[in-house]
A and B are shown apart, each in its own frame.
Chain A
Amino acid sequence: MNRISALFSKAKEPILNVYTTAGYPHFEDTMTVLTALQEGGVDIIEIGMPYSDPVADGETIQQSNQASLDQGMTVAHLFTQLKDLRQTITVPVLLMGYINPVLQYGVEAFCAKCAAIGIDGLILPDLPMAEYEREYKAIFEAHGLFNIFLITPQTTDERIRHIDSVSNGFIYMVSSASTTGAKTGISSDQETYFERIASMNLQNPRLIGFGISDHSSFMKASKNASGAIIGSAFVKLIGQATDLRAEIVDFVQSIKGKK
């Protein structure tokens, strides 16, 4: 079974998915960050493949992408850094990024490499569902990779149902109409939206992302979903950390309320 499905089927507590940019804060930090996240008790890790033009991302993640690229990060380098991933990391790992670097690497070669390394799924926000179904789905599935789709407060029920029917693993619920890191906290409007989606009885579980930054917003989001995703708040933390490992462990534990 894919590690993501296994996790959701046995999880008793809210699931925490943390996004980190590859090669950030320093080029060689990728595996250090992953190991510390796991040590702190994270449930899923989402590794951002840096891109020059990340339109769905706000300033924090943009800057981390640029810093990583400036240090020479590429898809090929990232695969080298991750080659022994499964010797230490047991939690599910997703790669998140934009479609163009994947196209240039070659979709087939990219997916084969992901499978060989032990990547469980992909989040490619600018790969639309129609394109995915037409050209990519067969390749992803042949390599056992889950494609994670986003829904937003503006996504119609009909489209959510369709996304649910082609999704594997979980659905990424964007908490508000925004880029990453634009807002923090969760309003009552957003809670209404979470409840609306929860009541749709979708076949896939949901994680809520965008605007989750601390224990309280994590717990609030988890009331109406299987858990939540933290990105900008984590990237900000590691960008300023003086003791990377200790601060990451501490951050994860405090989000999960284990501290």
Chain B
Amino acid sequence: MSFQVDEQGYYGNFGGAFIPEMLYPNVEELRSRYLDIIADPVFQAEYDALLKDFVGRPTPLFKAERLSAKYNTKIYLKREDLCHTGAHKVNNTVGQILVAKRLGKNKIVAETGAGQHGVATATVCALMGMECIVYMGAIDIERQAPNVARMRMLGAQVVAAKSGSQTLKDATNEAMRHWINHPVDTHYIIGSVVGPHPYPDMVARFQSIISAEIRTQLQEKEGRDYPDYVIACVGGGSNAAGAFYHFLDEPRTALIAAEAAGKGVNSGHSAATTFLGKSGVLHGSKSLLMQTEDGQVIEPYSISAGLDYPGIGPMHAHLFESGRGKFYGITDEEALVAAVECSQLEGIIPALETAHALAVFEKLQAKPNEIVVVNLSGRGDKDLATYQNRLKLND
């Protein structure tokens, strides 16, 4: 079975490009050119150089000794939190801004949930001298205030999405509407492996550097180039896609995804798409989607803004449906416990999104000689207000 996108833009039953005609010329231009652009050696050299000197790659693969001792297995942390701007999101924005330049675009629009993708987009726009507009849900603007300030410091315009649930889904709607209204000079940098084909594949390719590095680093440290488990959190699924990418066809590696179960999978306050979703179309692709019987999108809930999304990328829907990926629902509480544990056992404060992946150790029951790699997708600075509040750090 293939886990890569096919000629029609599908992963199994999921994917495609369900876009209004207004977006067709842009998406079609991207579709017809992205593979050639990325394959161009000049592009590759520019991309690699920026990843090395601007982003700070390769990021370390760190053996977490105290977590390993606690769970009686070998745990490695892939330190995407050490990327410039503090999360994996920048791997994608560096790639896409170089694509945008080659498409002759001089303005960028993006959506953001936690603000990490917005910051990563504002950062590369500053670097390349491009105008940047970021749509962000009004609720997220409040709960991720430090990132809003960072985007503005970087010269981006942050626009509040006030429709619907006022979170990531609505920010994405607004970014798409902006693109419809500015089709000629603007490129839309989507922040995850969602959206119409070719976005899921393009973003997965830019994030695949994560698993490429894991392979080399594991070979050095363990004498084999694959782990027994790769764990990553899934909002739209870009850090997971990147961490899984080079292991998709490696049957010895189990692919483990952590979704946000909010207050509990069946509490009515959750974002656990594979548990609650059915096949449907949102933001240009067919995937698993949380929706009513009538096909209206359900407003999700998670403590973590970056996982507060009612869908997942089509690649992950296919991994789920085919059984290649295993999905866990992690509650707010479980994520908070895991965040404290990682902070106090390893000296690393993770992002709330990442904490969902860290909470999987408890459920995994890996054996002592097995190798578990968890993608530490981002650092927790942006979540300090939530941590302070929920963990009573000021008392």
Contact = CB atoms under 8 A, between A and B. Distances in A.
Interface stretch (A173-181, A188-196, A222-230): A173-181
Contacts of A51: 295-296
Contact of B280 (A75, A100, A128, A179): A100
**Residues of B in contact with A, size category:** 35 or more
Contacts of B17: 128, 130
Interface stretch (B18-26, B61-69, B147-155): B18-26
B281 A103 contact: yes
A201 interface: no
A66 B163 CA distance: 9
Contacts of A58: 177
Contacts of B19: 126, 128
Interface stretch (A19-27, A31-39, A148-156): A148-156
A69 interface: yes
B16 interface: yes
Contacts of A55: 20, 173, 176-177, 180, 283
Interface in B262-298: 278-284, 289, 291, 293-297
Given A104-B293, A150-B20, A179 B180 contact: yes
Contacts of B278: 104
Nearest to B21: A150
A150 B16 CA distance: 19
A233 B232 CA distance: 48
A131 B16 contact: yes
B295 A105 contact: yes
Contact of A149 (B21, B164, B173): B21
B12 interface: no
A115 interface: no
Given A150-B21, A177-B184, A100 B173 contact: no
Contacts of A85: none
Interface-centre pick from B282, B284, B289 (highest chain A CB count, 10 A)? B282
Contacts of B281: 98-100, 103, 126
Interface string B18-43: 11111011000000000000000000
A193 to B, nearest CB: 14
A105 B183 CA distance: 33
A170 to B, nearest CB: 15
Interface string B243-258: 0000000000000000
Interface residues of A, number: 39
B181 A179 contact: yes
B169 interface: yes
A74 B163 contact: no
A101 B296 CA distance: 7
A69 B177 contact: no
A104 B280 contact: yes
A53 interface: yes
Given A62-B163, A99-B18, A152-B21, A182 B294 contact: no
30 contacts: A53-B164, A53-B173, A53-B283, A66-B164, A69-B296, A74-B293, A75-B295, A99-B18, A100-B289, A100-B297, A101-B295, A103-B281, A104-B293, A104-B294, A125-B21, A126-B18, A126-B20, A126-B281, A128-B19, A128-B21, A131-B16, A150-B21, A151-B21, A152-B22, A155-B21, A155-B24, A174-B21, A177-B180, A178-B181, A182-B181
| A-B residue pairs, 10 tightest by C-beta | A104-B295, A101-B295, A74-B294, A150-B21, A125-B20, A52-B296, A56-B20, A154-B25, A100-B295, A52-B297
Given A103-B280, A130-B8, A177-B184, 10 more contacts: A51-B296, A52-B297, A53-B282, A55-B176, A55-B283, A66-B163, A99-B18, A104-B278, A126-B18, A126-B281
Interface of A: 51-53, 55-56, 58, 62, 66, 69, 74-76, 98-105, 125-128, 130-131, 149-152, 154-156, 159, 174, 177-179, 182
